Amino acid sequence: MRPIAVLFAILIVSAISACSAAGSEYIDIKDVTMRLDGPNATFELNYTLDTFTRFYVSALGCRYLEPELTSFLGSYRDVELIKADTEGATMQVAGAGKYNSGYYLFDSMPFGSKEKPLNKTILSFSVVYPSGRIRKFYNVTGTQNVFSQVAQQVKSAKERSQS
């Protein structure tokens, strides 16, 4: 039994070393969906993991992936990982959009951080508006400039509070 535990520990250490040395090469993000909800945005990432990372995550959970996943949206200030597994993740960004004259404006942000932007393209980026309308972009390196109209009852309350 002891040799199995040692072998398992060696495999875990190897996986961590390989992933650390390779940087973000162990996670390949296929597509991203951005769901707009007022000033907030929820991002859904679909990805594949390399073999060692998949083994590590399956055995010990996704806590190791959290820094890498949140750094993917490093241009935003308030990123919270909602859930993650071996195939995808969901993250919430509070205050991603700015209110302006009845609209929430979402500026284009590079994937990665401003200091270290992602250097490869994401095949598909979708924006899902509150109305359910979907807009797709292909081969992108960041979010796109988009806006959504504030719901009428929310808009009226905001206008009253500003007067």
pLDDT digit string, tens, across residues 113-135: 877 888 889 999 999 999 999 99
Q: Dig out the tokens for 95 from the structure.
A: 């205050």
Q: Which residue type does 161 have?
A: S
Residue with the two structure tokens 């040692």: 6
**Measured CA distances, 157 to 13, 36, 150 (Å):** 55, 20, 11
Tens digit of pLDDT for each residue in 89-102?
A: 999 999 999 999 99
Report the candidate in 114, 134, 119, 139 with the shortest Cα–Cα distance to residue 34.
Answer: 134
Report the candidate in 85, 99, 92 with the shortest Cα–Cα distance to residue 158.
Answer: 99
Model confidence pTM above 0.75: yes
Contact between residue 127 and residue 144 where contact means Cβ atoms under 8 Å apart: yes
Q: What is the mean pLDDT of residues 31-44?
A: 97
Identify the three-state secondary structure at position 100: strand
Contact between residue 95 and residue 77 where contact means Cβ atoms under 8 Å apart: yes
Q: What is the reported pLDDT for 20?
A: 45
